[in-house]
Amino acid sequence: MKVSYFPGCTLKNKAIDLDIYARKSAEVLGVTLEEIEEWQCCGGVFSTARDEIATKLASVRALKAAHEKNYPLVTVCSACHNVIKQTNHAMQNDAEFAQKVNNYMAPEDAYNGETQVYHYLELLRDVIGFDTIKGKVVNPLKGQKIAAYYGCLLLRPSSTMQMDDPENPHIMEDFISAIGAQPVIYALRNECCGGYVTMESPELAKKKSDAILENAKAAGADMIVTACPLCRYNLLKNGTDMPVLYITELLAQALGVKEDTNG
Amino acid sequence: MQINEYKPLIVAFCCNWCSYAGADLAGNNRLNYPADVKIIRVPCSCRVNPMFVLRAFQRGADGVIICGCHPGDCHYTSGNYFTRRRMALLFSMLDYLGIERERTRVEWVSAAEGAKFAATMNDFTEKVAALGENKRLEDLRCKR
Amino acid sequence: MDKNNKYLQEEILRMSGVNPRKCMSCGKCSATCPAYDEMEYHPHQFVSMVKNGDIERLLNSQSLYRCLSCFACIDRCPRSVEPAKLVEAVRLIAIRKQGANHMTADDVPELLDEDIPQQAIVSAFRKYSK
Amino acid sequence: MQRIGVFVCWCGSNIAGTVDVQAVSDALKNEPGVVFSTNYQYMCSQAGQDIIKQAIAEHKLTGIVVCSCSPRMHEATFRKTAAAAGLNPYMVEIANIREQCSWVHKDMPIGTEKAIILGKAAVAKVNLNTPLTPGETPVTKRALVIGGGIAGIQTALDIADAGFPVDIVEKKPTIGGKMAQLDKTFPTLDCAACILTPKMVDVAQNDKIRIFSYSEVTDVKGFVGNFDVTIKKHARYVKEDVCTGCGLCTEKCPQKKVPNEFNLGMDNRRAIYIPFAQAVPKVATIDPNYCTMLKTGKCGVCSKVCTAGAIDYKQKDEFIEEKYGAIVVATGYNPISMDKFDEFAYSQSKDVITSLEFERLTNAAGPTAGKLLRPSDGKHPHTIVFVQCVGSRCDSCAQKGKEYCSKICCMYTAKHAMLTRDKYPDTDVYVFYIDVRTPGKNFDEFYRRAVEEYDVHYVKGMVGKVTPEGDKLKVQASDLLTNKQMHIDADLVVLAAAIEPDKSARPLATMLTASMDTNDFFTEAHPKLRPVESPTAGVFLSGTCQGPKDIPETVSQAGAAASKVIGLLAKDKLTGNPCVAHSDEWMCNGCSSCERVCPYGAITYEDKEFRMPDRTTAIRRIAVVNPAVCQGCGACTVACPSGAMDLRGFASSQIMAEVDAICK
């Protein structure tokens, strides 16, 4: 099957691994990620202000492009997913906002949030199924104790994101189990790493990231996985020696398609 | 024959438990309101069939007001909620027929609110009087 | 409340869609806020200051640029007040003023290191400038 | 045609001062049906009443109109007068020409004109009155109490004390409810078991009270005074009348790994068990989900060790049908699930517990024999954090938690904190609160003692996140008074979980046609004046099924419910209000509109055979109103699309006649 794919700016640059392994793994699992033409940066953060229109147009264009093909829209980057999903939610539920956006773009061809938005993890869980993945794993990551790091953007605001229980999520843990590793549960997996404030206040990011890493380590983790390039940056920059990997990297490894890219 | 100034005719349906008692209290406290208001006692405001309201207008009433217990205080638990919904529908239909909104009203008057009852009736009568006679729904065959 | 604060208050409530009167002052937003120590005014203070029309002090506070947009206060508020939406609205009012950008392109190079993802830069720009 | 008499009262000068009573009685004389009209100084006086009686006899009156004070004053008086003269009391109508005429109008001509119109309306109504007779139904002199907690126990004891038989239906194997699980009770700190278990024994020994434990109500039919109830007695695989409660089987059963629900799963029990030492009835019960014998047919240890021969693996569920005159709901509460509040890490750490679990941890009969030990490692906790309002006072949009205040948490948390500091002075105890709500006799004094004498750290603020790390619980919270974020390394975190009605309440309410609010608490007939009665006649409310309550409140409400039940059961017959709804079976089309608006469940449907033209018959579904249950609000009469439903005493035709008379 084919789905529309919004990689986002970081995946074209600093987080190439997140992108490449996402495509490769999906291919193995029978899903083609078809990149949206001429996509524009989502902006990285969603503005909750109801009169912020222009900053959300890029997301609406991507959503509309997927809608024209009648595909669901998949993103891997947590931030892109958060922005696009929240924008789509606003298009569905805030009539005034939707009207303004449509007037801005093409009123005759109005978009009202019809596109189904999936994060890559949701694609794995809800479309492909973790059981299917289990069946396709060739290099099970046996014995590895992996701590999932959700960060903020995958789960919150939970009423909009609706991915999982915001306080006790298990989608990434289920993913980790599916690829044969052992998930490690720790409380700070849904706490903020410091986000973009790392630019102005690296100390804040350090404090937050250190606490997360320490908590994961205390819970017995050998490794952390995440779906967000910024989270990975903050954790790695401040970390001791805890490896921080992308979910897609681990998936590609388990599915046996990682070496190919390196070679 | 003496030429009277125009007096509206107002029918007030009052529930037995709150509003009728509120009207009695207005009497006990000698709070005046126009004699144009004539009260009909019903067990609950939800006993008021929209037909009664239409009948009143048909027979020449100039205003109809329905009084019940405050929401949540209904003697029968939920009767006044029915009244609120039914009358909202009826009044919007009457409005459509050209019976001005000011000729109809639902008001919550508790047994302790004698002053409110009198004030409501004064205000309602004044508003209806300002509109003049109800001619739209009046059935001329009813006139002698 | 003076005229300007009143105007700003109405603007903030309209933009954010937040009703600060729903707040019961439990402080859970501030208990959950990861940027608490960096802030002069904390999430619960944003709510009460907006409610009381004490907006100008907020507009001039660095606290506006410390919110991480992690949505934790939005999710955990038992009264659905959503303090982060107020922070966002106040910040937008601050930076929408001409020349009031908190961060400009000139500031960026010295804040960068080679690993920093683009995402951080675009996010910061979204949050700090117009 | 009626023969109507009109009696205009002067009420001294109260009426006659503003209303020309002579003019009124003269004017009404000419109204259709009126054969007699008079006025008198005080109609309600003996002499006045005699005038009425005499006129009824002399003029063969079939209906009377009294133009006087409010019917709320003297309607009953004049109805009695009419009845004494042999006239049906419901043939009397009052025209209120005092409170609603003479007292509010100053001008004689205007007052007189209005009084005449009000009199005409009353005459028009009486013309359409029909004699009404209140129905009578017998009362079954037995009460049913659903729920065997402190509320049910107290209600049952009080009813039995008045001499009426009572049955208690309890779904657990023993009565006692939540109170049996508590350690000490505020504000006096006497132990819950010490004051509850004697009452449980009283219940067991009272020959007026039967206990159906391990049972539930599965069906309720009938109405006030005459309920037919089906009770399902679950098979406990132990003959109740044979078991001596010696407990040998519960020691010998090889299945040891059953989570003990009485200790909230903090330790294990056997597959055959007696919930706790003072259980009533003190009879063993086999848990079919864990018993090896019942599951595989192999074992039978309990049967072998039972010298009384009480074990019966073949026992079946039993259905009992019984008649009751009154039903008391005492279904109680449960703490809500902490699933949606995992920022407090309840699912992640054994050392994050609810307050009810804390009760068991400090109870001498609990899993730790009363020693306060951490569930994870059995160590003594030194820093304890209590979090108030977990799931209480939430906004409905938050879609988790409850909108209401759970009411009991402030007091029990103060109790927990105080007892902990008293027993373990080496502990640091923090209580995070939004507001401390302690209204009640000696309640605030109690809370202040916790703060002032026991040095419990009360912090105004909320906990935002609990992070288990190593053997500590890192608590991040706000202190709103110092405007600081606090970080506490705690050993134990106790959550004051909101309470919610028991899940069995909703289906029970449907069976009883008793109304509930959106939170599944039972609604009272009047929030202030009838707090222990359900709007459904014959159904009464006791304890937390009606709203959050502490023990003193529950016991007083239980007593109040009992007194209402006694008042009902003391009657031999119930006299109804004859002004009830009735449906014209020929006009009814069985659409159910009336049933849906009836707050009392007074309307049912039956299939009735009708003779149709050409000697055919047809079965039609028609509405039937139970006059004993109907309260006469009239909601159904308006909902009825075909006009089949009408209200006696306030018939549509009567009200229309009044409208016509007023508008003429």
State whether C24 and D483 contact (CB < 8 Å).
no
Determine the Cα–Cα distance for residues D326 and D533; give it in Å rounded to an integer: 11
Asked whether residue B144 carries a pLDDT value surpassing 90, the answer given is no
Distance from CA of C13 to the nearest CA of A (A): 10
State pLDDT tens for residues D479-490.
999 999 999 999
State pLDDT tens for residues D88-113.
999 999 999 999 999 999 999 999 99
Domain enclosing residue B125, as ranges:
10-136
Q: Quote the pLDDT of residue B141.
A: 64
Q: Which residue is associated with the tokens 């309209």? A: C14
Which of 159-188 (A) contact C at CB < 8 A? Answer: 166
The domain locations on chain C are 3-97, 103-130
State pLDDT tens for residues D491-543.
999 999 999 999 999 999 988 878 888 899 998 888 888 999 998 889 999 99
Is D523 an interface residue toward B (CB < 8 Å)? yes
Tell me which chain B residues have a C-beta less than 8 angstroms from the C-beta of D631.
76
Chains in contact with C, where contact means 3 or more Cβ–Cβ distances below 8 Å, are A, D
Please indicate whether chains B and C are in contact, defined as at least 3 beta carbon pairs under 8 Å. Answer: no
Q: Quote the pLDDT of residue B2.
A: 46
Q: Which residue is associated with the tokens 């109680």? A: D332
Q: Which of these three, A93, A120, A147, is where a domain ends?
A: A120
Please indicate whether chains A and D are in contact, defined as at least 3 beta carbon pairs under 8 Å. Answer: yes
Number of structural domains (chain B) is: 1
Cα dist from D653 to D58, D120, D125, D632, D650, whole Å: 29, 15, 8, 16, 8
Tell me which chain D residues have a C-beta less than 8 angstroms from the C-beta of A167.
340-343
Q: Tell me which amino acid residue D169 is.
A: V
Q: Could you tell me which of B66, B126, B57 has the C-alpha nearest to residue B98?
A: B57
Asked whether residue D190 carries a pLDDT value surpassing 50, the answer given is yes
Tell me which chain D residues have a C-beta less than 8 angstroms from the C-beta of B142.
663
State whether D485 and C31 contact (CB < 8 Å).
yes
State pLDDT tens for residues A90-106.
999 999 999 999 998 88
Backbone angles phi, psi at D329, to 5 degrees: -95, 125
Determine the Cα–Cα distance for residues D451 and D453; give it in Å rounded to an integer: 6
The answer to whether residue B3 is domain-embedded is: no
To the nearest whole number, what is the mean pLDDT of chain A?
Answer: 93
Q: Residue C18 — very low, low, confident or very high, per pLDDT cuts 50/70/90?
A: very high
Distance from CA of C100 to the nearest CA of D (A): 29
Q: Which domains does chain D have, with CATH numbers?
A: 4-126 (3.40.50), 148-226+320-332+503-572 (3.50.50.60), 235-316 (3.30.70), 335-500 (3.50.50.60), 581-648 (3.30.70.3270)
Distance from CA of B80 to the nearest CA of D (A): 9
The answer to whether residue B4 is domain-embedded is: no
Together in a domain, A93 and A137: no
Could you tell me the CATH number of the domain that includes residue A9? 1.20.1050.140
Tell me which chain A residues have a C-beta less than 8 angstroms from the C-beta of C17.
50
State whether D395 and C42 contact (CB < 8 Å).
no
β-strands D616-625, D603-612: how paired? Answer: antiparallel
Q: Could you tell me which of D488, D573, D545, D541 has the C-alpha nearest to residue D138?
A: D573
Nearest CA in chain B to D107: B35
Together in a domain, A136 and A109: no
State whether A50 and C15 contact (CB < 8 Å).
yes
Together in a domain, A98 and A157: no
State whether A187 and D341 contact (CB < 8 Å).
no
Tell me which chain D residues have a C-beta less than 8 angstroms from the C-beta of B9.
662-663
Asked whether residue B4 carries a pLDDT value surpassing 70, the answer given is no
Angle (CA) D340-D345-D349 rounded to 5° is 130
Together in a domain, A79 and A46: yes
Distance from CA of B9 to the nearest CA of D (A): 7
DSSP C96: T
Of D340, D343, D469, the CB nearest to A218: D469
The answer to whether residue B15 is domain-embedded is: yes
Q: Which has more pLDDT, D571 or B4?
A: D571
Cα dist from A28 to A33, A118, C17, C25, D615, whole Å: 11, 18, 45, 52, 77
Distance from CA of B122 to the nearest CA of D (A): 12
Provide the CATH topology of domain C3-97. Answer: Fumarate Reductase Iron-sulfur Protein; Chain B, domain 2 (1.10.1060)
Distance from CA of B24 to the nearest CA of D (A): 5
The answer to whether residue B144 is domain-embedded is: no
Nearest CA in chain D to B23: D100
Chains in contact with B, where contact means 3 or more Cβ–Cβ distances below 8 Å, are D
Sites in chain A below the pLDDT cut of 70: 259-263
Q: Quote the pLDDT of residue A261.
A: 45
Give the pLDDT mean for D358-387: 96
Tell me which chain A residues have a C-beta less than 8 angstroms from the C-beta of C120.
44, 195-196, 198-199, 230, 233
Q: Residue C41 — very low, low, confident or very high, per pLDDT cuts 50/70/90?
A: very high
Number of structural domains (chain A) is: 2
Q: Could you tell me which of A188, A207, A210 has the C-alpha nearest to residue A197?
A: A207
Give percent of chain B above pLDDT 90: 69
Together in a domain, A28 and A72: yes
Together in a domain, A61 and A162: no
Give percent of chain A above pLDDT 70: 98
Q: Residue B112 — very low, low, confident or very high, per pLDDT cuts 50/70/90?
A: confident
Asked whether residue B12 carries a pLDDT value surpassing 90, the answer given is yes
Which of 68-97 (C) contact A at CB < 8 A? Answer: 68-72, 74-75, 82, 84-85, 88-89, 92
Distance from CA of D342 to the nearest CA of A (A): 5
Predicted-complex ipTM score: 0.81
Domain enclosing residue A148, as ranges:
129-262
Asked whether residue C120 carries a pLDDT value surpassing 50, the answer given is yes
Determine the Cα–Cα distance for residues D663 and B47; give it in Å rounded to an integer: 20
Backbone angles phi, psi at D567, to 5 degrees: -60, -35
Give percent of chain D above pLDDT 70: 100
Asked if residue A107 lies in contact with residue A150, where contact means CB atoms within 8 angstroms, the answer is: no
Distance from CA of B82 to the nearest CA of D (A): 7
- The tokens describing D577, both together, are 């209000």
Of A159, A168, A218, the CB nearest to D342: A168
Together in a domain, A137 and A174: yes
Q: Quote the pLDDT of residue A203.
A: 93
- Mark out the alpha helices in B19-133 (DSSP H runs): 19-28, 50-58, 79-97, 114-131
Nearest CA in chain D to B48: D638
Could you tell me the CATH number of the domain that includes residue B21? 3.40.50
Tell me which chain D residues have a C-beta less than 8 angstroms from the C-beta of B61.
659, 662-663
Asked whether residue D647 carries a pLDDT value surpassing 70, the answer given is yes
Q: Which of these three, A77, A93, A120, is where a domain ends?
A: A120
Of A167, A188, A191, the CB nearest to D342: A167
- Mark out the alpha helices in chain A (DSSP H runs): 16-28, 57-69, 78-93, 95-105, 120-122, 130-136, 158-161, 171-178, 202-218, 229-238, 247-255, 258-262
Asked if residue D343 lies in contact with residue D250, where contact means CB atoms within 8 angstroms, the answer is: no
Chain D interface, Cβ < 8 Å to A: 339-343, 345, 347-348, 399, 465-470
State pLDDT tens for residues B50-95.
999 999 999 989 999 999 999 877 888 889 999 999 999 999 999 9
Distance from CA of A131 to the nearest CA of D (A): 25
Q: Tell me which amino acid residue C58 is.
A: L
Q: Which has more pLDDT, C86 or D613?
A: C86
Secondary structure element (H or E) that encloses residue D465, with its range? strand D463-469
Nearest CA in chain B to D514: B77
Tell me which chain D residues have a C-beta less than 8 angstroms from the C-beta of A214.
469
Is D463 an interface residue toward C (CB < 8 Å)? yes
Asked whether residue B143 carries a pLDDT value surpassing 70, the answer given is no
DSSP D379: P
Angle (CA) B96-B97-B102 rounded to 5° is 75
State whether D342 and A165 contact (CB < 8 Å).
yes
Give the pLDDT mean for D454-465: 97
Q: Residue B1 — very low, low, confident or very high, per pLDDT cuts 50/70/90?
A: very low
Q: Quote the pLDDT of residue C58.
A: 95
Chains in contact with A, where contact means 3 or more Cβ–Cβ distances below 8 Å, are C, D
Confidence (pTM): 0.83
Determine the Cα–Cα distance for residues D585 and D607; give it in Å rounded to an integer: 11
Distance from CA of A256 to the nearest CA of D (A): 33
